[in-house]
């Protein structure tokens, strides 16, 4: 019966994971949804759907498997949306792409060869594509300094000082500073006019080849390569033996449930997974699943109050929201570009993938992320053949 009694330690670790997971990246999610064509109401619905979906998914997965399965939204996927821009069909076309991506994630879990095919994508190319997606967003803090120097420098200073002493709270504290500056400039929010409990908005999807290739496929690849597969690796690093197939499928199912309400994708977490799977969650590894389940309850709570978050976003200059998102992605960019270029034999193909993706150009309505991955793969095949011939 002790397994059914969560400890204060595991509950506090789970709550901390939820706070860090939500506050450190919700600005990126909002930026991605708005860039895809969502209005503020649709973006609120998407934020709510993602938070509740990943909360319920974490609770179900953790309580069923008795291991700390942490769930998050696809932060790299949101960054991809922010860099890809709006499709011809607007947010309805983006929602269609979200649904296709969710189905692909389900198949990756159900059909083992399909999952193996995704895992076979060269790691340096996947990281180079991710770095290219993140690069433009990481420039936002610099643009913010040029546009609103005093506000932007105050936010960056807050982030840097917090990063020096307790890096987990660097982005949340920068976000608090951002909202404080916005409220100082605009005055207090009229809470009577804010729907504190969020309302879901059902969005009719539109399906197109452009959306499938420009959004769905790259979103699927970055979600699997930079979230789901590393999430499994983190759990294994802490001594757990997760069955990856069912967990991928479960995350795909909850992605599918959130997509019609504007959610782009949910997946296994990596950073918060370490918070819930480590010694700080509980001295007994068999009891740490309560930390991930508690984080799930925290995400549900944040999702219900997504309207309040969006009310704060509405009075905040867009460039400052983008700046915080850029600060939040710097570590991910540094890691991905480092992983992409660490091998001399594959460095050129990685840089080609990065350059094409970061350029933001599109051909035939297809975004640069797809062409970047394709260009790097083709160059890798050509040079591999040449070396073999030589």
Instruction: List the one residue out of 86, 75, 95, 78 whose CA is nearest residue 37.
Output: 86
Q: How many CB atoms lie within 10 A of CB 226?
A: 26
- Per-residue pLDDT, 268: 92
Region of 360 (left: φ > 0; alpha: ψ -120 to 50; beta: rest) is left
Helical residues (DSSP H) of 24-168, grouped into ranges: 26-35, 40-65, 75-84, 90-110, 112-119, 123-138, 140-147, 149-165
Task: Tell me the C-alpha to C-alpha distance, in Å, between residue 276 and each of 18, 21, 359.
Answer: 10, 12, 37
Instruction: List the one residue out of 376, 378, 360, 379 whose CA is nearest residue 368.
Output: 360
Biggest alpha carbon distance in the chain? 73
| Torsion angle defined by CA atoms of residues 136, 142, 143 and 146, in that order, rounded to the nearest 10 degrees | -170
- Positive/negative CA dihedral, 64, 65, 67, 73: negative
- Per-residue pLDDT, 364: 58
Return the SS3 of 98. helix
DSSP 121: S
Q: What is the pLDDT along the chain (390 residues), one digit of tens a residue?
A: 344 567 777 888 888 788 878 887 888 899 899 999 999 899 999 999 999 999 999 999 999 999 999 999 998 889 889 887 788 889 999 999 999 999 999 998 888 776 666 667 787 887 888 788 778 888 989 999 999 999 999 999 999 999 998 887 888 888 889 989 988 887 777 666 666 677 889 999 999 988 898 899 989 988 887 788 878 877 887 888 888 889 999 999 999 999 999 999 999 987 677 778 877 778 888 888 999 999 999 999 999 988 888 888 778 888 888 888 788 778 878 888 888 888 888 889 999 989 988 887 766 556 677 788 888 889 988 887 655 555
First to last CA, the chain: 66
DSSP conformation letters of 187-237: ----GGGS-SS-----------HHHIIIIIHHHHHHHIIIIIHHHHHHHHH
Task: Tell me the C-alpha to C-alpha distance, in Å, between residue 67 and each of 74, 207, 265, 300.
Answer: 21, 37, 22, 20
- Per-residue pLDDT, 327: 86
The span from the CA of 339 to the CA of 125, in Å, is 9
- Per-residue pLDDT, 122: 81
Contacts of 278 (CB under 8 A, 6+ apart): 238, 288
- Per-residue pLDDT, 265: 94
Task: Tell me the C-alpha to C-alpha distance, in Å, between residue 14 and each of 86, 270, 277.
Answer: 36, 14, 10
Instruction: List the one residue out of 211, 213, 220, 268 whose CA is nearest residue 121.
Output: 220
Instruction: List the one residue out of 147, 215, 174, 149 whose CA is nearest residue 27.
Output: 174
Contacts of 271 (CB under 8 A, 6+ apart): 20, 21
- Per-residue pLDDT, 116: 67
């Amino acid at each position: 019966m002790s397994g059914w009694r969560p400890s204060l330690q595991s509950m506090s670790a789970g709550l901390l994971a939820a706070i860090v997971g939500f506050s450190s990246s919700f600005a990126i999610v909002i930026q991605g949804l708005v860039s895809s064509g969502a209005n503020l109401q649709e973006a609120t619905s998407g934020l709510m759907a993602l938070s509740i979906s990943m909360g319920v998914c974490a609770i179900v997965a953790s309580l069923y498997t008795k291991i700390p399965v942490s769930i998050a939204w696809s932060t790299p996927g949101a960054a991809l949306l922010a860099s890809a821009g709006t499709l011809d069909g607007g947010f309805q076309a983006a929602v269609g792409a979200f649904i296709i991506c969710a189905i692909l994630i389900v198949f990756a879990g159900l059909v083992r060869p399909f999952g193996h095919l995704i895992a076979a994508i060269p790691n340096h190319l996947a990281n180079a594509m991710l770095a290219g997606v993140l690069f433009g967003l990481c420039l936002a803090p610099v643009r913010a300094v040029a546009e609103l120097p005093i506000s932007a420098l105050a936010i960056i200073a807050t982030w840097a000082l917090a990063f020096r002493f307790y890096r987990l709270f660097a982005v949340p504290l920068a976000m608090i500073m951002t909202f404080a500056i916005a409220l100082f400039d605009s005055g207090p929010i009229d809470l009577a006019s804010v729907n504190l409990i969020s309302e879901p908005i059902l969005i009719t999807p539109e399906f197109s080849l452009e959306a499938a290739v420009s959004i769905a496929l790259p979103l699927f690849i970055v979600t699997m390569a930079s979230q789901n597969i590393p999430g499994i690796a983190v759990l294994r690093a802490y001594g757990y033996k997760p069955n990856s197939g069912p967990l991928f499928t479960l995350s795909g199912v909850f992605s599918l449930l959130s997509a019609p309400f504007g959610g782009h994708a949910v997946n296994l977490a990596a950073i918060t997974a370490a918070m819930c799977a480590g010694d700080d969650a509980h001295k007994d590894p068999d009891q740490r699943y309560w930390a991930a389940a508690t984080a799930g309850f925290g995400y549900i709570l944040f999702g219900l109050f997504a309207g309040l978050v969006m009310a704060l976003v509405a009075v905040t200059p867009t460039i400052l929201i983008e700046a915080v998102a850029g600060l939040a992605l710097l570590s991910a960019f540094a890691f991905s570009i480092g992983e992409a270029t660490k091998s001399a034999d594959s460095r050129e193909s990685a840089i080609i993938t990065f350059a094409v993706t970061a350029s933001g150009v599109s051909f035939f309505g297809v975004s640069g992320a797809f062409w970047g991955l394709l260009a790097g793969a083709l160059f890798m095949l050509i040079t591999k053949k040449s070396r073999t011939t030589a």
